[in-house]
Structure 1
Amino acid sequence: MTASEVEKTKAQGGSPQEKVAASTSPQAKGDSGASPVRAVVSDKHKEAMSLFVAGKRDLLVKDIDSAVSSLAQACELLSAEFGETAYECADAYYYYGKALLEMARAESGVFGNALDGVPDGEDTDNSQIEDPEKMTEEERETVEKEVGEALDENFKALEEKQESRDRRKKSTTEDETEEDDEEAEDSDKPAEDSEKPAAEKAEEKAESEKPAAEAMESEPSKDEAKEDTESVGNEAKEGEDKKEQEAEDEEDPSNLQLAWEMLELAKVSYKHKLESLTDADEKKSVEMKVCETLLTLGEVSLENETYEQAVVDITECLNKRKELHAADSRRIAETQYQLGVALGHFEKFDEAVKALEDAIACLKKRMENLKNKSESVDETKANDAFYSREAEITELESLIPEIEEKIQDTKDMKKQSADNKAEESGFKQNGESSGAKPISTISVKRKAEGSDSTSPKKAHVENGTDKK
């Protein structure tokens, strides 16, 4: 816009909206098609940012369904406006991936709690499971009555089925009788037929009856044919439904798979932005976002039990954070803890213990610096009006015992893994030398106390909360 046009706009006065409209008018731009397109894009961007803010708020208050819905729409609008790998979409991708991860954890928790109360193995000492020896006489009579009624209903159904078969058999017999009567009438034919020798007549009759009998044997009754057709139709329908369900499952990825894809898109978008940045502060801010994305990718891999990939992503995050933050940063301690968890599940027990011990050492160093008032700045606490050094020291002191407990769990996992391998090795040796053992002599492996068989427990040493 030229200087004369600016002066003209100022002279016009009016509201800011009117000034923007004047500056984007076809006369000001010299392009009649630019204004409407920009207005539409601006509206979409505004709607996307509104959905993005709402999704972040819902995620913060644990309204996961609403968060997923809002952030999905925000990602769709932003990617349509700026492109799939644009930096403007990266934050929306990241929070959408986090929301999907939380939804997957919630679903996993629901499925895991479905069998709560059911005894494991031979443990039947549970009030929710009925013990026949502890039933009262009245309860026994009730059960016997219900079982008897069920047997009677089943017997009646079998009787009806048998009667239906008898009716079909009877109708078949009546048809044969009618054919015999027709043959008897045919026997009263003119004399030329009666003059034939008896042996020849018997032979002709046998030949005429043979095709009819073969046809009756080969052709089922109408009811049987109908039942066979219905059975084949039902089986075909079930097969089609199963194929359609499998196709839908292939087309619709799981929440964990979709979360991984969104976080990968966010990582790519952040890294593309890094290539074009020259300012050190802006570059550090984007690199911190890359680290957050890598750590969340590691959490997704842990939930998905792809532990090797989790170790790769979290290790990359730790290396970057050591370059970006001071040695006493809680972000480094958080990453070391997560790496210890991933290594433990990947059966790298010694490395896992070392990573967890490094996390404790990092937190103890920060506690010492807090007491000396020489700690590094924690970005997450910068705008917290209620922050105090004393409160953070208390918080860190409560986190260290939790990490020490995790170290003990990891050592127990190592011992259990060694016992299992020794047992398997002994079983193979005995099996090779003396043949297979009887079933009664084979010991049953038990799950070690304290071992994690479901999703790994996550202790956020960054903010002091313990999430499951």
Structure 2
Amino acid sequence: MASSSNEQSQEELERAKELYSSGTRSYYVKDYDLAVEDLSQVCTLYSDAYGTLGDQLGPPYLLYAKALIALAQNEVKLIDIPEGEGSEDSESESCDDEEAKEKPPEGGESSKAEASGSKDKDKDKDDEDDDEEEEGEQTTNPESTEEDITNLQLAWEILELAVTIFTSRGDDGKSQLAECHAELAGISFENNNYEEAVRDFTKAKDILTTLPDTNQRQLAELYYKMGLSHMMVNAFSESIEALNSACECLDKVIAENKEKGPQEEEITELIAELEDSKKDIFSKIEEIKASKMAVLDDMRKTASGSPVGAPEVIKTPPAQQPTNISHLIKRKKPDSSPSGGSSSSPSKVPKTD
């Protein structure tokens, strides 16, 4: 009996490894639905074998959370309706209404009778429609209408589990721990919780700077996102400092590539790309400086009792945000402490002890 149980457990672990490989491949080819499905099963199988906080679950948790976030982004892109798409329909309906108003009745009393009968029928139809709408509201599955929100909340909770696992690894888990904090910060940023985003971006940055082989491009990205987060709460000095640090990191990457000797086409293109990124960051710094001066000028005029005539401060959003899920958050924000319980589809939540 024990031998049979061990064989079954071994088969499940082998299946988990296959699913992890498949889920990883699906994630990198952007088949996020399949990635979420496979990685969810991996987390369930590993959780059964090693416990919810088993060390083996660290990488699957992290990739599963990233797949959930990517799936939420992908779903928004699919359901977004371009502006003006419904204008033609509204215009045609408006034209039909105007034609109906302008068209004179063809009959006398019979027309009135028909109109009266039509009103009664319309009233009955409206009553039926109202009943159907009420029934529809009662039978609507909340999970299907808020699946994207659930994905984000679940991703947050999975990331918190991953943080616990990678923290317990000590130095060996620092790189992945930094990635977890960066993903958490990205969710907070899109949820307009910029102070929380700054805290997690800072944690990720502090961890990366302790690594002997710090990835300077990754560090530059963190500094850039920190700068944007500071900017959104009018912390202009901190924002400028973070963006300047991002440029310094890019300078190091450029210098390292130039030292490699004869420059191949690939390296030349990389250096050009990094130089363009620096230009974009410098442009952002100038925008922030202008906003800072406008705010200070407004404050001086207000303090001196002058009529408020200072130019309106315009916050220019970043060209590229860490993630593009703000459409989801606007409907229902995650709790302030996302580690709290949330209802999720059983097929997506890893089984816990």
For the residues of structure 1 that align with 2:111 and 2:57, how far apart are their CA atoms?
64
SS in 1 for 2:317: coil
Question: What is the Cα deviation at residue 290 of structure 1?
Answer: 0.8
Instruction: Verify: 1:301 aligned to 2:188, yes or no.
Output: yes
Cα pair distance change 1:116/1:81, threshold 3 Å = farther
C-alpha distance after superposition, 1:233-290 (max 9, x if no partner): 9767745654665854798543222222221221122223x2xxxxxxxx53321111
237-246 or 88-97: bigger deviation: 237-246
**Structure-to-structure mapping, 1:27-426, within 5 angstroms:** 33-110=1-78, 114-115=82-83, 147-149=98-100, 159-160=113-114, 162-163=116-117, 231=127, 238-239=133-134, 241-242=136-137, 245=140, 248=143, 253-272=149-168, 274=169, 283-326=170-213, 329-372=216-259, 391-392=266-267, 394-412=269-287, 415-416=290-291
Cα pair distance change 1:153/1:242, threshold 3 Å = farther
For the residues of structure 2 that align with 1:268 and 1:80, how far apart are their CA atoms?
18
C-alpha distance after superposition, 1:411-468 (max 9, x if no partner): 42564587589889999x99xx9xxxxxxxxxx97966xx22897167xxxxxxxxxx
SS in 2 for 1:325: coil
List alignment gaps of at least 5 residues for structure 2: 324-353
1:18 maps to which residue? none
In terms of Rg, which structure is larger?
Answer: 1
TM-score by length of 1: 0.54
Count of matched residue pairs: 312
Identity %: 24
For the residues of structure 2 that align with 1:367 and 1:165, how far apart are their CA atoms?
75
Mapped contact 1:52–1:71 kept (Cα < 8 A):
yes
Amino acid at match of 1:91: P
Amino acid at match of 1:452: P
Instruction: Verify: 1:456 aligned to 2:352, yes or no.
Output: no
Mapped contact 2:227–2:242 kept (Cα < 8 A):
yes
For the residues of structure 2 that align with 1:246 and 1:287, how far apart are their CA atoms?
41
Cα pair distance change 1:84/1:405, threshold 3 Å = same
Mapped contact 1:325–1:332 kept (Cα < 8 A):
no
Cα pair distance change 1:455/1:72, threshold 3 Å = farther
Question: What is the Cα deviation at residue 407 of structure 1?
Answer: 3.9
List alignment gaps of at least 5 residues for structure 1: 1-32, 119-127, 133-138, 167-222, 275-282, 375-387, 434-443, 459-468
For the residues of structure 2 that align with 1:307 and 1:115, how far apart are their CA atoms?
28
Q: 1 or 2 for the larger relative contact order (CA 8 Å, sep ≥6)?
A: 2
Amino acid at match of 2:31: D
Cα pair distance change 1:308/1:454, threshold 3 Å = farther
For the residues of structure 2 that align with 1:143 and 1:235, how far apart are their CA atoms?
24
Amino acid at match of 1:65: D
TM-score by length of 2: 0.69
Mapped contact 2:26–2:32 kept (Cα < 8 A):
yes
Mapped contact 1:360–1:400 kept (Cα < 8 A):
no
Cα pair distance change 1:143/1:263, threshold 3 Å = closer
SS in 2 for 1:305: coil
